[in-house]
């Protein structure tokens, strides 16, 4: 196979990928949409056409586009991607909570099913918006996707337990392998998953790893902890086009190996779900495919 933009390697996954498999964390970038003031990540253009090459290489057919921190609350690039991908795509937007009911309804019609609050690299939103954002989107049946430092996450435990929407923690909850079973934020995520209040994305392993690599064996226990706690609440995402790699923060990952690492985590976890459950059934339940 030919190389795919923004992905190392050129082979497909060693593990057969089931029909209807979904990549639950992807961004698209287009310089024709201006970056938000203060944006920390300014990657090169990465288009739907580029991503379709990765879908073909990996055997994926569904995708969730997430508005990246680069654009703040401007969702136009993500929405353009949704329009190009059609019914096989869903979106996660970034909002300020001041949008009208009509604006939010239009986002829903275009395929949006959640909003993201990024308190790690984001340039919009603050932790004090947790309640107001959740209340704003609850009637739509959307989820609130969170990315925040573990200490901050743990400090908001009582708030998170009582929000009127489902929560989604991307990039393994931003928990490092060394914090597995130790940090209160990790224990909180497991609690919320077990109670049916939260989901976690096995994405960005190369971001939370001290080795900055998805091959890091230390990721195994962290991934397995989520798979054991609530297998019906685990998702997978590539994090293509790996903006942090473009910024030189780590090497560009091989996305086929990311799929294979998921297979390895499943095989070494007693009572774990199948690849079909994580890649097909769980995304269908959350995003409404």
> How many folded domains does the chain comprise?
1
Q: Catalytic residue at 50?
A: no
Give the separation between CA 273 and CA 254, rounded to whole angstroms: 24
Is 68 part of any domain?
yes
Is 176 part of any domain?
yes
Is 12 part of any domain?
no
Is 155 part of any domain?
yes
Give the strand pairing for 62-66 and 198-202: unpaired
Q: How many Å from the N-terminal Cα to the C-terminal Cα in the chain?
A: 29
Q: Which residue has the tokens 């209160």?
A: 184
Q: Which residue has the tokens 């991908």?
A: 85
Look at residue 15 in the predicted model and tell me its pLDDT: 87
Give the separation between CA 91 and CA 104, rounded to whole angstroms: 12
Is 6 part of any domain?
no
Going by C-beta distance under 8 Å and a sequence separation of 6 or more, which residues neighbour residue 168? 114, 143, 144, 145, 146, 198, 199, 200, 201, 235, 286
Going by C-beta distance under 8 Å and a sequence separation of 6 or more, which residues neighbour residue 18? 275, 276, 279, 280
CATH number of the domain encompassing residue 224: 3.20.20.140
Is 159 part of any domain?
yes
Look at residue 269 in the predicted model and tell me its pLDDT: 77
**What is the full per-residue pLDDT of the chain (289 aa) written as tens digits?**
668 999 999 999 998 999 999 999 999 999 999 999 989 899 999 999 999 999 999 999 999 999 999 999 999 999 999 999 999 999 999 999 999 999 999 999 999 999 999 998 767 889 999 999 999 999 999 999 999 999 999 999 999 999 999 999 999 999 999 999 999 999 999 999 999 999 999 999 999 999 999 999 999 999 999 999 999 999 999 999 999 887 777 889 999 999 999 999 998 877 767 899 999 999 999 999 9
Task: Provide the 3-class DSSP secondary structure of residue 223.
Answer: helix
Q: Which domain holds residue 33?
A: 22-287
Is 123 part of any domain?
yes
Going by C-beta distance under 8 Å and a sequence separation of 6 or more, which residues neighbour residue 124? 36, 72, 73, 94, 96
CB burial class (10 A; 0-12, 13-18, 19+) of residue 72?
A: buried
- Token duo for residue 196: 């049916």
> Exactly one of 23, 170, 239, 255 is catalytic; which is it?
239
Beta strand extents in 107-264 (DSSP E only): 112-118, 143-147, 167-169, 198-202, 234-236
Q: How far is CA 163 from the centre of its chain?
A: 20
Query: What's the Cα-to-Cα distance from 289 to each of 28, 43, 224, rounded to whole Å?
Result: 20, 29, 26
Is 14 part of any domain?
no
Q: In what order do the strands lie in the sheet with 167-169?
A: 22-26, 62-66, 89-93, 112-118, 143-147, 167-169, 198-202, 234-236
Look at residue 244 in the predicted model and tell me its pLDDT: 87
Specify the pTM.
Answer: 0.96
Give the separation between CA 17 and CA 223, rounded to whole angstroms: 19
């Amino acid at each position: 196979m030919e190389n795919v933009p923004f992905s190392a390697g050129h082979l497909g996954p060693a593990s057969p990928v089931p029909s209807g498999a979904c990549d639950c964390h992807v961004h698209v970038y287009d310089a024709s949409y201006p970056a938000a003031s203060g944006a920390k990540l300014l990657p090169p253009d990465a288009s739907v056409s580029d991503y379709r090459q990765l879908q073909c290489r990996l055997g994926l057919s569904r995708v969730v586009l997430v508005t990246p921190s680069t654009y703040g609350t401007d969702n136009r690039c993500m929405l353009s991607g949704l329009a190009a991908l059609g019914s096989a795509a869903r979106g996660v937007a970034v909002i300020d909570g001041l949008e009208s009911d009509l604006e939010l309804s239009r986002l829903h019609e275009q395929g949006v099913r959640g909003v993201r609050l990024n308190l790690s690299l984001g340039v919009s939103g603050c932790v004090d918006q947790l309640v107001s954002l959740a209340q704003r989107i609850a009637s739509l049946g959307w989820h609130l996707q969170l990315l925040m430092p573990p200490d901050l996450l743990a400090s908001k435990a009582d708030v998170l337990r009582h929000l009127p929407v489902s929560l989604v923690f991307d990039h393994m909850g931003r928990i490092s392998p060394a914090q597995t079973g130790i940090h209160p934020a990790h224990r909180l995520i497991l609690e919320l998953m077990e109670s049916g209040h939260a989901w976690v994305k096995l994405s960005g392993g190369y971001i939370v790893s001290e080795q900055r690599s998805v091959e890091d064996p230390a990721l195994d226990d962290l991934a397995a902890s989520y798979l054991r706690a609530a297998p019906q609440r685990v998702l997978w995402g590539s994090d293509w086009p790996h903006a942090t790699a473009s910024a030189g923060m780590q090497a560009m990952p091989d996305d086929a190996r990311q799929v294979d690492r998921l297979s390895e985590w499943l095989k070494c976890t007693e009572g774990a779900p199948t690849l079909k459950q994580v890649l097909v059934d769980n995304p269908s339940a959350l995003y409404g495919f």
